[in-house]
Structure 1
Amino acid sequence: MRAPLSWLREYAALPAEATGRDVAAELIAAGLEVETVERAGADLRGPLVVGEVLAIEELTGFKKPIRYCQVDVGRANGTGEPQNIVCGATNFSVGDRIVAILPGGALPGGFEIGSRKTYGKLSEGMICSVSELGIGEDHSGILVLPGRPEVGADAIELLGLRDDVLDIAVTPDRGYALSIRGVAREAATAYGVAFTDPAGDAPSDDGPAYPASIADTSACDRFVLREVRGLDPAAQTPMWMRVRLSRAGVRPVSLAVDVTNYLMLELGQPLHAFDRTKLSGEIVVRRARPGETLETLDHVRRELDAEDVLITDASGPISMAGAMGGLATEIDEKSTDLVLEAAHFDEIATARMVRRHKLHSEASYRFERGVDRELPVRAAHRAAALLAELGGAEAVPGATVAEAPVAPRAITMAADHPDRVAGVAYGRGTVVSRLEQVGCAVEGGDTLTVTPPSWRPDLTDPSDLAEEVIRLEGYEAIPSRAPRPAAGQGLTPRQRLRRRVGRALAGAGYVEALNVPFASARDWDSLQLPADDARRRALRLANPLSEDEPLLRTTLLPGLLKTLARNVGRGFGDVALFERGVVFRPDGDGVPAAPRLSVDHGPSADEIASVDAALPDQPERVAVVLAGDRERPGWWGAGRPATWADAIEAARTVAREAGVELRVEADRHEPWHPGRCAALYAGDTLVGHAGELAPRVIKAYGLPPRACAMELELRGLDEPGLPRAPHVSTYPVATQDVALTVPADVPAASVESSLRAGAGELLESLRLFDVYTGEQVGEGHKSLAYTLRFRAPDRTLTAEETTAARDAAVAVVSERTGATLRGA
């Protein structure tokens, strides 16, 4: 919202010395987001005066029209003699009043004006266009002043060319600030000065105008029509209105259109004008019917949806309510009889319609954020009065007001509620006075009954009212105190585990990535998921940030793989990433709708249970992806590419932080390579998978060959507690090596678990240090060589004890896997 300071001063009695920056500072302190303050015309320097064209000489011999003009500028040039000015525009005639800048002046942008010879003539200044004066984007020609302003008058003051313009970013809950009326009220409150409501009092006109009715009161609860007749189509918009519209960012078009736009900016009430001669029958506000279409003012024929809100007559749809009018009933250069429409449309219905048709407009922007329900009658009355005053029209007495009754909203609030919210003792008197400044009607003692004003539909509960008191009293008045946690409380075991996992993976060389929790159905295809895979069953967002990713993710892998692809595409070929986060896994019966809880009390156990029941299962997971070299080459030696084993080791790193030993088994699970995929078990619970990605997945995401990934569910690990330091024995270790020949299809993990089971409590650790396949072990077999470390906590082991433990381990692995000692 662009708000010229001069326009605000018209309704708020601001101090004369207050600049645009001063007002912006006060509005920011009151909670409005003033982004910039533009000092329009600050670099404009006179003499800039009103002139009258006395004579025009057409110069010939040039490729474009060139005119040598004599311009009367009064005594502004010090002599009273006509000023000779060369001009290339042709849209003005002898006798027209124009704006001329004389030598020594400067236009916006630092464009200095002097006397110079051009096209064989001496030009003593310049005749200005709208764009050159900085009050619009019209490049079509010279600004011809309407009326007969005094020759030689100061054009800077006459046109209001110097002004401070506040550019305000209006948040969705403050729709009232999308108007000069709303911003001026905030400024008056901030300075504690008088405010004059530009909407005025409700008119007392009796009797209906053009017939109208509301067929669907859920879409519109107030619809107002007024008529004006005999409008002069040639009547021009006065310069003061054109300048204000341009300063506010709206292009002037014609008097009728400019008046409706002007009042929309001033009051916040969008209006629309129909050509009365193009209407047929009663106007009805209703929803669209099957098969209906409408060609809007932008010359697009639109297929209408059953939820669209329309303004119709006997011929069918004539306007998309609150968004854009229809082409068939638009006003044109011949329109003299108009029907003015002002209404209060439903915010949600308007928002859905404009998003459905991608038809955003200044009007819909305001309706989406809530318009004052009391404004339509007043705005239509003011529009008719302005058209009568400026365009010679006759405002037909009476107005058609179709409406549905709406009960006033009353909010019950404890008088000390703002005090408890802010931690500041405001007192009842301050609370009441601040709420009354906002426009609320307040009654009661310790418990207040507050009726918000019609222009504040965002005030719906006690906390909204508390916010009004707090912001008007000043956020800076709230003391800054660090919260003091209760003794003995801190991070939960789950939070500590989450932090330990992050630190462990970062220490292992992984970089954390934070991705949005959204996905698309294409991701499931890219991951090669089967049609019946549970990960394909995802929740669809009702209002997604992007139509490309409308689903809640059921796995962390799509986001990580896309991040990996972006890094590789930017030249980072050796990448190791990890992410922690929740996934959303609805069950087969779907998810019930979540209840809307009241904010005037804490939720009960039943209410919390009902909310929990409406939520999908949200397990927390950790995932990693790797590509390129895991160890880079250098003077220290050769590097090593990332492999499936690194993905499995990442899972073990996570599990160690939870105090869990993972069991690894071969598996087939998308999106991993069928022969290079490991299932990860904590006890008998499947907690994740790791390995090398399938070639089709790598191709779908544009990843380097042999890229690897791991995904692990933290909830599947044992309930974390404080990690316990292992007991460190002071006695020496005894080492035994064993080489086993096993069938080639026996997993090393099965051999390892058998060795552990047979070695007993004396086994401290074991490590696979060699894998051999070849003629010496026979076809279909492999040799696995392990180092077993034995240690006792209370004594030095003898050779007989370690040999017995080794032999016991060999016996168990032979029984379970058919392994034999190599060379035996």
Structure 2
Amino acid sequence: MKFSEKWLREWVNPEIDTGALAHQLTMAGLEVDAIEPVAGQFDHVVVGEVIKLEPHPDADKLRVATVNVGADEPLQIVCGAANVREGLKAPTALVGAKLPGDLKIKKSKLRGVPSQGMLCSEKELGLADSAEGLMELPNEAPVGASLRDYLQLDDVTIELGLTPNRGDCLSVAGIAREVGVLNKLSIQGPDMGRRDAQILDVQIKDTLSVALEAPGACPQYAGRVLRGIDPTARTPLWLAERLRRSGLRSLGPVVDVTNYVLLELGQPMHAFDLGKLHGGIHVRYANAGESLTLLDEQMIELDDETLVIADDETPVALAGIMGGADSAVGEGTVDIFLESAYFAPQAIAGKARGYGLHTDSSHRFERGVDPQLQVSALERATALLQAICGGEAGPVVHVQQADQLPVRTPVRLRRVRIARVLGADIPVDSVEDILQRLGMKVRNPDRDEGRGTRDEENRVWEVTPPSFRFDINLEVDLIEELGRIYGYDNLPASRPRITLAMGARPETRLKPADYKRLLVDLGYQEAVTYSFVDPKLQQQLDPQGTALMLANPISAEMAAMRTSLWPGLLQTALYNLNRQQDRVLLFEQGLKFIIQDTELKQEPVLAGLLTGSLLPPQWGSPARQADFFDCKGHVEQLLARTGHGEQFRFEPDDSHPALHPGQAAVIRHSDRVVGRLGALHPALQQQLGLSQRVYLFEIDQGILTERRLPAFVSLSKYPSIRRDIAIVVDENIGAQKVKDCIEKAASGWLRNIELFDVYVGEGIDSGRKSLALGLTLQDLSRTLKDKDVESELSSILTALDRELGATLRE
């Protein structure tokens, strides 16, 4: 909301300067974003009148003007503006004047003709960013008067950054109410006799029928016919200036008056060209397939959830948002229909954005407009229009569905609750005074119902908010109002009193920092990516998952909630690879969002990405590209931090569409899948434009939060014995199955199994492979003999042959 300080001070004028006023508004919750002067810095600029105009003798585009500036002698000024003419009154900079941009006016000659000043445009005075000619002043402007004084340019505009709950302050009247309450002053509304004619009596009987066919969305509509307005009338300079200082351009008297009332009272209005309407007004929902060309020449296709204003034939306006071009007021309009309506916020909210629009009207209706304002705003606009354009006004047609209008219900307020929330003991009289100054009805049930009066500490009130305060529904809302009006600076400063208790820190708890440090030691860097991802990329990486789509995404590439952390890591890796960073190791801890049985579940996971050289370039070891087993080894080190890494199983898996079928695995724990890892599928790698092989992993973070405490195990004082065996098994049998079979068949002597070689090639049948394993045996009570070892190996080999078809390699 942007407004002129002088305009505000005509409503309420506290004895404080601009800075104090801005601080006061900010501390009351109406944050001041900017304070700017309404015009550039200039002096010695007066109202001048062109009394004579002659052609320049040596320049076709220049003319020599004789300008009366109220001095003893008129000035001769050379001017090239297209709109300069005899009788024109325009700002005139005298010799010695200083204009914005450090422009100094001196006596000069233009193509040989002396010039004693300068006729100015709005741009040259800092009143506008651009101008097509001289600034034209009204005929009644006093010649020779200081322009700054005449236009009251010693003024500033104040811009507020209002929160959505303060729609009542989207007007000068609303801000004046706040300033009046803060300074304990009454406000002065529009003075109809100061600049405008008094509201005239109804001169004609013409009306237009109004039908509310969607009373839930529009329970109140008021309108009136005005005939015979002057189409040549111009907007008064004072009104155009107030619009300019509020960030709006002057577009003609009718539109300017509706915009003025919107800024002054907060009630959006619209004027139709009466001659372009066919029949009466219908407030209804659009029919599917209907279209409407808006004032900005944009044609939109309407849906059946869009509220429109229609005549007997077709929609003529997008209700609460923008009027239609086909019924708009134009240069030749003499008869209009002026409307003022109340639309329910829920009926307008989001509709403008759905059509790619945002207007001053929709901004206010979405937040809530006072349902008691429509008729008075209509009368105010009528008075302004008749003062500017003349015309005859018909009676007000006021149609309402009373049971659909919002009702402000009383809110119970307890004094003890005020003290508890604010930490301040506000006197009873001050509480009632603040609430009443805010326009609320305050009732003491005990006193009013003859039950006596409770002690002040336990006082209870029933407070009914005014019609323009949609944001007050709870007791805490009232307490907030008391706090900001009483003054946050006046609330006592005190330290919170809390009871400290030492929290339990189980030794079995594994903190995220523990496994993050491990990954950093392995060369990884932590990444933090958005939870919003590209739906197309997510579909490629997780086609089986159901993503939650955002209703109002930041962009089309961030329209879905991630079902995996891989999309963000892959985009980060691609960004780095495109900038010649060939070695990328990343990890991220975060949430993924899964829809299961129509419910959204947030699951914490740890994910990582590995591509390029395993180690940085160095002389101590040759460069080697990272592979699947490096990725798997890193994951195994993570799982080992839990103290029960042997309980996790890696099983080949070719079911995930984003991973390479021959280089992918699932991680199981107690028959539950707790993670995945593998190489990115080559086809997907090509689609993403990745120039090198990428490896990914993702683990359920829940399994990394608990660890097993170290426990002492008796050490044997007897020597261990190692036996190496080489067995031949089918290629599809993993080493983990072989280890599981050996552990099951072995006795308590087996201490360790180590796989140290895998061979496929000459001497091995097709479809088979050789696995070399080292078995370490040891007993706690004696030294094992050769026959013990041979018996143990015989049992193991027998089990391998029986369960896996393994044979001892010769």
TM-score (norm 1): 0.86
Q: Distance in 2 between matches of 1:492 and 1:55?
A: 96
On the 8 A contact 2:320/2:348 being kept in 1, the answer is yes
Matched, 1:626 2:626: no
Q: Distance in 1 between matches of 2:175 and 2:783?
A: 87
Matched, 1:166 2:153: no
The corresponding residue for 1:690 is 677
The corresponding residue for 2:582 is 573
In structure 2, do the counterparts of structure 1 residues 56 and 726 end up closer, same or farther at CA, with 3 Å as the change threshold?
farther
Choose which of 288, 302, 305 in structure 2 pairs with 1:304.
Answer: 302
The corresponding residue for 2:482 is 469
Bigger mean CA offset, 486-495 vs 702-711: 486-495
Residue 572 of structure 1 aligns with an amino acid whose one-letter code is: Q
On the 8 A contact 1:765/1:790 being kept in 2, the answer is yes
User: Structure 2 stretches of 5 or more lacking a match?
Assistant: 193-197, 446-458
Q: Distance in 2 between matches of 1:652 and 1:460?
A: 56
Please state how far the C-alpha of 1:228 moved relative to its aligned partner: 2.8
| Alignment deviations for residues 684-736 of structure 1 (CA, whole Å, 9 cap, x no partner) | 11112101010122233333331111122234x38x44652454878789584
On the 8 A contact 1:737/1:788 being kept in 2, the answer is yes
The corresponding residue for 2:651 is 665
Question: What is the Cα-based RMSD across aligned positions, in Å?
Answer: 3.4
Percent of paired sites with the same residue: 34
Q: Distance in 1 between matches of 2:315 and 2:248?
A: 27
Task: Map 1:16-35 to 2 at 5 A.
Answer: 17-19=16-18, 21-35=19-33
Matched, 1:641 2:637: no
Bigger mean CA offset, 299-308 vs 189-198: 189-198
Task: Map 1:655-734 to 2 at 5 A.
Answer: 655-661=639-645, 662-668=648-654, 669-715=656-702, 717=703, 720-721=705-706, 723-725=708-710, 727=712
Task: Map 1:418-437 to 2 at 5 A.
Answer: 418-426=418-426, 428-437=428-437
Choose which of 71, 80, 96 in structure 1 pairs with 2:67.
Answer: 71
On the 8 A contact 1:208/1:401 being kept in 2, the answer is no
TM-score (norm 2): 0.87
Q: Distance in 1 between matches of 2:721 and 2:492?
A: 68
In structure 2, do the counterparts of structure 1 residues 300 and 766 end up closer, same or farther at CA, with 3 Å as the change threshold?
same
| Alignment deviations for residues 449-500 of structure 1 (CA, whole Å, 9 cap, x no partner) | 2211111112222232222223333445374756846524468999964454
The corresponding residue for 1:652 is 636
Please state how far the C-alpha of 1:507 moved relative to its aligned partner: 4.3
User: Structure 1 stretches of 5 or more lacking a match?
Assistant: 592-614
Q: Distance in 2 between matches of 1:33 and 1:116?
A: 48
Q: Distance in 2 between matches of 1:51 and 1:387?
A: 29
On the 8 A contact 1:736/1:787 being kept in 2, the answer is yes
Q: Distance in 1 between matches of 2:63 and 2:787?
A: 115
Q: Distance in 1 between matches of 2:49 and 2:778?
A: 109
Secondary structure of the 1:172 match is coil
Residue 523 of structure 2 aligns with an amino acid whose one-letter code is: G
Matched, 1:511 2:536: no
In structure 2, do the counterparts of structure 1 residues 736 and 313 end up closer, same or farther at CA, with 3 Å as the change threshold?
same
Matched, 1:448 2:429: no
On the 8 A contact 1:210/1:226 being kept in 2, the answer is yes
- The structure whose Rg is larger is 2
Secondary structure of the 2:651 match is strand
Residue 7 of structure 1 aligns with an amino acid whose one-letter code is: W
Q: Distance in 2 between matches of 1:752 and 1:215?
A: 78
On the 8 A contact 1:322/1:350 being kept in 2, the answer is yes
In structure 2, do the counterparts of structure 1 residues 188 and 761 end up closer, same or farther at CA, with 3 Å as the change threshold?
farther
The corresponding residue for 1:49 is 46
In structure 2, do the counterparts of structure 1 residues 83 and 701 end up closer, same or farther at CA, with 3 Å as the change threshold?
same
In structure 2, do the counterparts of structure 1 residues 336 and 188 end up closer, same or farther at CA, with 3 Å as the change threshold?
same
Secondary structure of the 2:600 match is coil
| Alignment deviations for residues 209-250 of structure 1 (CA, whole Å, 9 cap, x no partner) | 433121111211211113333322222212222222112111
In structure 2, do the counterparts of structure 1 residues 585 and 103 end up closer, same or farther at CA, with 3 Å as the change threshold?
same
Question: How many residue pairs were aligned?
Answer: 781
Please state how far the C-alpha of 1:519 moved relative to its aligned partner: 4.5
Bigger mean CA offset, 644-653 vs 721-730: 721-730
Q: Distance in 2 between matches of 1:487 and 1:346?
A: 50
Secondary structure of the 2:178 match is helix
Q: Distance in 2 between matches of 1:492 and 1:423?
A: 38
Q: Distance in 2 between matches of 1:199 and 1:492?
A: 74
Choose which of 99, 113, 119 in structure 1 pairs with 2:105.
Answer: 113
The corresponding residue for 1:4 is 4
On the 8 A contact 2:644/2:708 being kept in 1, the answer is no
Secondary structure of the 1:416 match is helix
Q: Distance in 2 between matches of 1:763 and 1:414?
A: 75
Please state how far the C-alpha of 1:52 moved relative to its aligned partner: 0.7
Q: Distance in 2 between matches of 1:735 and 1:114?
A: 109
Matched, 1:181 2:173: yes
Q: Distance in 2 between matches of 1:819 and 1:277?
A: 97
On the 8 A contact 2:48/2:67 being kept in 1, the answer is yes
Secondary structure of the 1:586 match is strand
| Alignment deviations for residues 313-356 of structure 1 (CA, whole Å, 9 cap, x no partner) | 12321111111111121111111222211111122222332122
The corresponding residue for 1:602 is none
On the 8 A contact 1:624/1:650 being kept in 2, the answer is no
Residue 400 of structure 1 aligns with an amino acid whose one-letter code is: H
Choose which of 472, 493, 497 in structure 2 pairs with 1:459.
Answer: 472
On the 8 A contact 1:665/1:679 being kept in 2, the answer is yes
On the 8 A contact 1:412/1:450 being kept in 2, the answer is yes
The corresponding residue for 2:75 is 83
Secondary structure of the 1:630 match is coil
Q: Distance in 2 between matches of 1:340 and 1:263?
A: 12
Residue 724 of structure 1 aligns with an amino acid whose one-letter code is: L
Q: Distance in 1 between matches of 2:333 and 2:352?
A: 28
Bigger mean CA offset, 486-495 vs 440-449: 486-495
Residue 559 of structure 1 aligns with an amino acid whose one-letter code is: G
In structure 2, do the counterparts of structure 1 residues 749 and 30 end up closer, same or farther at CA, with 3 Å as the change threshold?
same
The corresponding residue for 1:369 is 367
Secondary structure of the 2:124 match is helix
Residue 212 of structure 2 aligns with an amino acid whose one-letter code is: I
Residue 625 of structure 2 aligns with an amino acid whose one-letter code is: P
Q: Distance in 1 between matches of 2:123 and 2:135?
A: 9
On the 8 A contact 2:227/2:391 being kept in 1, the answer is yes
Bigger mean CA offset, 178-187 vs 648-657: 648-657
Q: Distance in 2 between matches of 1:675 and 1:499?
A: 33
Bigger mean CA offset, 288-297 vs 812-821: 812-821
Please state how far the C-alpha of 1:369 moved relative to its aligned partner: 1.5
The corresponding residue for 2:593 is 584
Please state how far the C-alpha of 1:91 moved relative to its aligned partner: 1.1
Q: Distance in 1 between matches of 2:613 and 2:294?
A: 59
Please state how far the C-alpha of 1:183 moved relative to its aligned partner: 2.3
On the 8 A contact 1:578/1:625 being kept in 2, the answer is yes
In structure 2, do the counterparts of structure 1 residues 474 and 735 end up closer, same or farther at CA, with 3 Å as the change threshold?
farther
Residue 460 of structure 1 aligns with an amino acid whose one-letter code is: N
On the 8 A contact 2:535/2:557 being kept in 1, the answer is no
| Alignment deviations for residues 132-174 of structure 1 (CA, whole Å, 9 cap, x no partner) | 2222345221111013211110101211223222222222222
Residue 682 of structure 1 aligns with an amino acid whose one-letter code is: H
Please state how far the C-alpha of 1:89 moved relative to its aligned partner: 0.9
In structure 2, do the counterparts of structure 1 residues 39 and 820 end up closer, same or farther at CA, with 3 Å as the change threshold?
farther
Q: Distance in 2 between matches of 1:461 and 1:585?
A: 35
The corresponding residue for 1:522 is 536
Q: Distance in 1 between matches of 2:364 and 2:783?
A: 84
| Alignment deviations for residues 772-804 of structure 1 (CA, whole Å, 9 cap, x no partner) | 444365654444445667788x89977879968
Q: Distance in 2 between matches of 1:341 and 1:490?
A: 67
Residue 74 of structure 1 aligns with an amino acid whose one-letter code is: G
On the 8 A contact 1:418/1:431 being kept in 2, the answer is no
Bigger mean CA offset, 87-96 vs 501-510: 501-510
Secondary structure of the 1:85 match is strand
On the 8 A contact 2:609/2:697 being kept in 1, the answer is yes
Residue 163 of structure 1 aligns with an amino acid whose one-letter code is: D
The corresponding residue for 1:410 is 410
